[in-house]
Every structure is written in C-alpha cells, then in structure tokens.
C-alpha cells in the first residue's frame, strides 16, 4: 500500500517568553522535501525518461503538482496528453511517498522541451527584463477578452481571506505554508491547496482542475495567501483565470502582465479593504 503523505512533523521545542524559558512543548513544522518531476516520452517508437524540474515542496498532491507544473509551463495542454502519472515508490529515509513523480505522455503527445529552458530564464530573474518576460508570456497565452465577466461584488472579495484562512488545515497546525484557493463568482470555495512554495500551491490547484477536465477556469477567482508575483500571474493566465486576488502586495511585473492580458488583479485583500491594480470592470463597487 502507498505510504500516506505527512504534511507536518512534530518536534519538541523550548518556548521563550521575554527572557525566560516558559516550557518544554510540542510544535509542528511544515514538511519540506524535494520533488523531481520526470517525463516519460515516446521517441522513434521507444520510451525514454527525462528529468524536467526539481522543486522544494510539501509532500501530498504530488501528481497534481507535476501535471499542474507541466501545464502552466506550456509542456502539456490537455488531459489526453497524459497517459499516466506514477509516484515512483516510497522514500525509505522519511517514510513519505517518493520524491520522484513521472508523468508518462501518450504516444501521440508532442512536447517542446525548449519551453522549459525559456521559462526558466523568465521565472528565475537571470537578467531577463520585464518586457522580454511579457513577450515570452504572449507566446503562450492570449488576452482574456471579456473585461466584464465574471462580475464580482466587493463583499465577495472581502470574504475571501477569512474563507481561505478557515480552510488552511495544515497552516493552522504549522503556521508555515502558503495557500492557493479557487472560488466561484459567489465566493464559494471550489478547491484549495497548501505548500511551502506559493508556486507549488498554485500548480497543485491548477493540476487538480486539469486532471478533472475543468480547464479553462474562465469564471473563477484565484485567491493567494501571500503576495502576487509575475510567476503566479503567468500560471493563472495559462489556466484562463480572469481574477487573481492576494492578501499581500503584487509585484510590478505581475501588474504589467495583468494589464497586458486583461486579468483583474487585487492586492492587500485584508481588513475589509483591497486595491485594484487591473481589470476594475469585473469588480462591482457600491453594491
């Protein structure tokens, strides 16, 4: 039987208050382990395996993370591209699921692995300017054309942080995870994923929708527990998500991407206030 993933581990710690050790007590820490994502590809009638990424993540929903990453990087485009997703055995050192997941592509799937090399430079801040990043993104996504759909009331936006927090089960135990949640236009939670990496949480979330055949997500809201970076805007745009909201601040390039491709972007969504950086027509104010 497969080993169940543990998202947090218990440790004995000493808690200090002011200048004194208050007590010996238990604490829970979010698990962080590397995950290698591999592709199984057919070439010239033969199967071969290729490593495409290693990311630090919280174990759990690894198959979703793998396919979500491959989709948001433009390597796969439809569930039919995927023949199977394999978790390659248990990790003997940690007794957790394997730190390797292989996505086996169908025999008719065609991939362009150069996209991974190109997107690496986009997301790793290796000297590529913002203009070049937007040009690269434009090769993968098209503009969200409906600037007034869906329309969301300010009350819905205000309600999202609390709903996100209440659904963060692992964060409640550890205080150490990012979350990404998908909501409908009425503010009802559709799906939530947590991870030590904010980009991993989004890939897990989109990966679940990909596997369920629910893409594109043209009537949904993406809510983030932290800041909104260009990388997260890129992933949301790949899934055709029209509205992205974040508890924290957006980066300048995230705002530029949202404005370029017609996405609504809200930041500092907390304490019954928020800023609209792009796509204000989708937000119903004064209602």
Q: Which residues are designated catalytic?
A: 126
Q: Exposed, middle or buried by CB within 10 Å (0-12, 13-18, 19+), for 272? A: exposed
CA separation for the pair 18, 23 (Å, rounded): 13
Residue 85: closest CA among 67, 68, 110, 59: 67
Closest among 34, 31, 39 to 86, alpha carbons compared:
39
Q: Which residues contact 65 (CB under 8 A, 6 or more apart)?
A: 35, 37, 55, 57, 101, 195, 200, 203, 204, 207
Alpha carbon 253 to chain centroid, angstroms: 18
Beta-strand pair 100-105/33-43: parallel
- Residue 56's SS3 state is strand
User: 211 exposed, middle or buried (CB, 10 Å; 0-12, 13-18, 19+)?
Assistant: middle
């Amino acid at each position: 039987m497969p080993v169940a993933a543990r998202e947090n581990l218990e440790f004995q710690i000493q808690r200090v208050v002011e200048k004194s050790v208050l007590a010996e007590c238990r604490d829970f820490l979010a698990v962080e382990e590397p995950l290698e994502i591999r592709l199984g590809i057919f070439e010239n009638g033969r199967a071969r395996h290729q490593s495409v990424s290693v990311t630090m993540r919280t174990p759990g929903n690894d198959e979703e993370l793998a396919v979500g990453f491959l989709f948001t990087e433009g390597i796969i485009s439809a569930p039919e591209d995927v023949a199977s997703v394999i978790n390659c055995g248990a990790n003997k050192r940690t007794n957790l699921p394997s730190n390797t997941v292989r996505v086996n592509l169908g025999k008719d799937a065609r991939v362009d692995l150069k996209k991974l090399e190109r997107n690496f430079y986009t997301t790793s801040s290796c000297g590529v300017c913002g203009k070049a990043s937007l040009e690269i993104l434009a090769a993968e996504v098209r503009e969200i054309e409906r600037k007034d759909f869906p329309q969301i009331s300010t009350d819905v936006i205000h309600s999202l942080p609390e709903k996100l927090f209440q659904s963060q089960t692992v964060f409640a135990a550890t205080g150490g995870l990012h979350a990404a949640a998908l909501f409908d236009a009425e503010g009802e939670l559709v799906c939530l994923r947590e991870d030590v990496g904010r980009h991993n949480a989004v890939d897990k979330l989109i990966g679940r929708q990909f596997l369920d055949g629910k893409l594109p997500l043209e009537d949904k809201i993406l809510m983030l527990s932290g800041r909104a970076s260009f990388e997260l805007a890129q992933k949301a745009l790949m899934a055709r998500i029209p509205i992205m909201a974040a508890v924290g601040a957006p980066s300048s390039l995230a705002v530029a991407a949202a404005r370029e491709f017609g996405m609504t972007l809200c930041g500092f969504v907390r304490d019954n206030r928020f800023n609209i950086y792009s796509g204000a027509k989708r937000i119903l104010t004064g209602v």
